[in-house]
Structure 1
Amino acid sequence: MKSRQRIGITQGQRLQLNLGLTASIRVLELDAPELARWLEEQAAANPALQVGPPPDPGPGEWLPRWSNAFRQMGGGLEADLAESAAPSLMAHVMQEIARIIGPARDYRLAVALAEALEPSGWLGQPLDQIALAAGCAESDLQAVLNQLQQIEPRGLFARSLAECLRLQAEEEGCLDPVMDFMLTNLDLVAGGAIERIAALCGADASDIRARIRVLRQFDPKPGAQFVPGAAPTREPDLIARRGANGWEVSLNRSSLPTLAITPTEGDDAREQVKQARALARMVEGRNTTMLNVGRAILMRQRAALEHGLAALVPMTMASVAADLSMHESTISRVVAGTSVDTPLGTIWLRRLFTGRLGDTHSPAAAEVRAMLSRLIAAEDPAAPLSDAALADALGAHHLPVARRTLTKYRAMLNIPSASRRRRR
């Protein structure tokens, strides 16, 4: 029997992404720096689109991720990161101390300074108190401190916000008299007194704005990047603050460029304006979606905003998508590179998602990791806890976990084994 080919007509439906939808999806995945670069590319090809710098910073909002750092200028330091990454930070610092410090006496002083570090990376005690406890002259301790302040990331072992930023400005080669004046008068900078600063140091207001944009790239808490879930040094996309009516989430406009549409001349003028307006709507849609998703996530994790990542409750992208009537893939794209500034530091939105270890009555995985960090931070450095001992300790805190699972979490937190953590 021979087979014969036949031609037939059938109807079907198929979803096809047009160029506009494809571009919208791409914009949704961009963080603030990537969005700025993409808009500059679009403006270069479309004269009707003008891309400008972010709006002038206002009082109290020019560097949102530095709010706690400014509060600490007037008094003692606080361990403002509830989920300290002391093992990872200390491991990094001790490794660098072994590399750059030679004499045994200087090594002992360096360890004393390292033990005085706060999770932010700043020294938590005055230098004279550390010298008294170490039984040395303050000048000798200062000499060792000068060496430790060269450790990367720059800003570690700073004694104030101004010193932290000055160390980073020195490394970038931008510590000129104007920048030095701004760092000496950070209260004026934080208050947005741009015109006054320009008049006092004999510079143009535009020059001061440019230097503030440079300051935005510095990290006021270089030690915080060792905290699990912490975002790298850059301007956050969202800001979470406690207001009169509870927690409020807003866009960080200081990280977004300004857009303007200007009429052009020529045969393609109308089409260029049309494309520029469509692009502006696309960016505004991206911002609205990011804000809605951020609010939905952070309202579910209010406890983490107050107490740190140890207080995370189980949450999945599917549950957030259901609340917002969105597709789960949209949630995934939004949180991929989005960071939020909170009173406890800048963290990735993606790190606010956590599952359970087992059934519905099991603890959240984030809670177990946070308790693991605290147990290791409090252990005796000369007799660190083994994985089996850590598993028993977690069980005593009503967080039962298998030793194999604990070893996996320890590796996720970049915490070395007990034999590698042991130090004299």
Structure 2
Amino acid sequence: MTRQANRLSQTQTLQLNTGLAASLKVLRFDASGLTRYLEEQAATNPYVVLTQIPAEAVAWLPRWTAAFAAQGMGGADSPDVGAMLQAPALGLIAHVSRQIDAMLRDEGDRDIAFGLMQALEPSGWLGRPLPRLAAELGCDVARAQAVLAQLQGMEPAGLFARSLAECLELQARDMGVHDMVMAAILAHLDLLAAGDHARLAKLCGVDADEIAARLRVIKGFDPKPGTQFGQVSAPVREPDLTVVRGPMGWEVSLNRSALPDVAVGRGNDARAQGDNARGAARELVRMVASRNQTLLRIGQAILTRQEAVLAQGMEALVPMGLTDIAEALDLHPSTISRAVAGVSVDTPRATIWLRALFTADVGGAAGGAIRARLARLVRDEDARAPLSDLALAALLSAQGAVVARRTVAKYRQMMDILPAHRRKRRV
């Protein structure tokens, strides 16, 4: 005889309400993703009103400000100018080397090209006058100029420029927007940097609206194309945060031009859906404000801990995990993880990923700092006698943390650095 019995069991599940799920979704967006989301909401809810924040004439991102300063347009004694004068990233050198191998066949021209490559700065600009470089390379200036013209055809446009104006000209030509007006503007970058549109318009023979339109195009260029190849560089786009050195130290702020302003409108439209739509619009405004405030707090906390990186580069990284920031701000580590995903910050050096500033402790040093030192050692090695993994491990260990050969091999593969026998070059 079969007996049937009813049993009562209790299970516990966690389910997010609609509002919390939406808040987490908004927090996870970067600036471009959030802009698209807001545009979708505005298309379906007549109470959601988006207003594009107009760019101020003199509101330049930090990397632009440093580029202007390096050219004597806005503070030649700026403490950030030094960031332009250090050695270029290993990724830039590897990229340029591959393109030289592909585009030049004449051995003499290749030797000149590799010599010019050694004079590149982190910005991607040529760091010394061409006549001096030609003399060092044992060739006449005309031949060096001919090789340089070929190198300036590399991607991304702007590499091997000899000034900020030439860097922007190369990018304008690449985009097909270089004409007499653009040439005149680039010849007066000091006026552009200062926001003196009226005088610039008079010199160019156009009205102020045309200058403003050209300004929007120029702001889409990259004044430092070489920094795209840095270890933690983010793609060139509108960054979410900016950081500049102020009177009280490094100051982090939201990049207001990266997002439209969102507000609750009157909804006088046939599509108006009553109180529900109006309430959804108010909630959206609240979520965006909360997202911006949270992101700013997190960005400030991260960059305060990694302040040395802004002045000295990635070799100055200190160990830092998600829990360190979470505990400091009384937030959950998952909130920190969501907030920094895909978020970039514009610095005087370059635009970098915020997540890249989190790095594990490896023998008492930051793993990211060890990788940066590894990249420097490989970049500065004698190309005729490259350093083995064992030699690299010894040099890295001499700087403090004990680094094993297998760790060097792992990091080298992670950073796409070839083994020593394949890095060897006959010079």
Instruction: Please name the residue that 2:22 is paired with.
Output: 23
Cα separation, 1, equivalents of 2:320 and 2:110 = 46
State whether residues 81 and 345 of structure 1, in contact with CA within 8 Å, keep that contact through their aligned partners in structure 2.
no
Letter in 2 for 1:416: L
For 1:288, give the aligned amino acid. Answer: Q
Aligned equivalent of 2:70: 72
Residues 331-364 of structure 1, C-alpha deviation per residue, up to 9 Å, x if partnerless? 0011111111223322111111111124xxx222
User: 1:371 aligned to 370, 373, 382, which one?
Assistant: 373
Q: 1:418 to 1:216 in 2, by over 3 A?
A: same
| Distance in structure 2 (CA, Å) of the matches to 1:82 and 1:275 | 51
The alignment status of 1:312 with 2:317, answered yes or no, reads yes
Give the 5 Å matches for 1:22-421: 22-59=21-58, 61-74=59-72, 80=83, 86-203=89-206, 205-265=208-268, 266=270, 268-358=273-363, 362-421=364-423
Is this contact kept in 1: 2:64–2:348, CA < 8 A?
Answer: no
Tell me, in whole angstroms, the C-alpha distance in 2 between the residues paired with 1:46 and 1:206.
Answer: 33
The residue type equivalent to 1:273 in the other structure is R
For residues 19 and 214 of structure 1, the distance between their equivalents in structure 2, rounded to whole angstroms, comes to 40
Distance 2:124 2:159 in 1: 5
Which secondary structure does the structure 1 equivalent of 2:124 belong to?
coil
In structure 2, relative to structure 1, the CA distance for the partners of 1:139 and 1:235 (3 Å cut) is: same
Name the CA distance, whole Å, in 2 between partners of 1:421 and 1:192: 47
Q: Which range moves more in the overlay, 134-143 or 403-412?
A: 134-143
Distance 1:112 1:82 in 2: 18
Question: What displacement does 1:79 show?
Answer: 6.0
How much is the aligned-residue C-alpha RMSD, in angstroms? 2.5
CA distance in 1, matches of 2:187, 2:245: 29
SS in 2 for 1:80: helix
What number of residue pairs does the alignment pair up? 419
AA matched with 2:220:
Q
Post-superposition Cα deviations, 1:215-234, rounded to whole Å, max 9, x if no partner, equal 23322111112211111111
Question: What SS does the corresponding residue of 2:172 show, helix, strand or coil?
Answer: helix
Structure 1 range deviating more: 326-335 or 181-190: 181-190
In 2, Cα distance between equivalents of 1:180 and 1:26: 44
Check whether the contact 2:70–2:84 (CA below 8 A) recurs between aligned residues. Answer: no
Query: Partners of 2:86 and 2:413 in 1: how far apart?
Result: 16
Q: Is the 8 A contact 1:310 1:370 kept in 2?
A: yes
8 Å CA contact 1:372, 1:394 repeated in 2: yes
Change (3 A) 1:63 1:188: farther
Helix, strand or coil for the counterpart of 2:154? coil
**Residues 108 and 9 of structure 1, relative CA distance in 2, 3 Å threshold:** closer
Q: Which runs of 5+ in 1 are unaligned?
A: none
Find the residue that maps to 2:244 and give its secondary structure: strand
Residue identity opposite 1:412 in structure 2:
M
After alignment, is 380-389 or 184-193 more displaced? 184-193
- Quickly say closer, same or farther: Cα 1:375–1:157, change in 2 above 3 A: same
Deviation at 1:402, TM superposition (A): 0.9
Q: C-alpha separation between the residues in 1 aligned to 2:104 and 2:195? A: 41
* Aligned amino acid, residue 32 of structure 2: P
Which letter does structure 2 place at the counterpart of 1:351? A
Q: Secondary structure at the match of 1:211?
A: helix
Instruction: Name the stretch that deviates more: 243-252 or 80-89.
Output: 80-89
Letter in 2 for 1:413: M
Residue aligned with 1:50, SS: strand
Alpha-carbon deviation of 1:400?
A: 2.0
User: Which amino acid is 1:239 matched to?
Assistant: T
Describe the shift of the 1:181–1:82 C-alpha distance in structure 2 as closer, same or farther (beyond 3 A): closer
Look up the equivalent residue of 1:281 and give its one-letter code.
R
Cα pair 1:83 1:370 within 8 Å, conserved: no
Cα shift at 1:260: 4.1
Whole-angstrom CA distance in 2 between matches of 1:288 and 1:307: 28
Whether the aligned pair in 2 keeps the contact of 1:84 and 1:227 (CA below 8 Å) is no
| Mapped partners of 1:271, 1:205: distance in 2 | 44
Identity in percent: 51
Structure 2, unaligned runs of 5 or more: none
The amino acid of 1:407's aligned partner reads A
CA gap 1:144/1:209 in 2 versus in 1, 3 angstroms: same
Contact 1:84 1:373 in 2 (8 A): no
Distance 1:420 1:9 in 2: 65
Q: Distance in 2 between matches of 1:31 and 1:180?
A: 35
Q: Which amino acid aligns with 1:287?
A: N
- The Cα of 1:412 is off from its aligned counterpart by 2.1
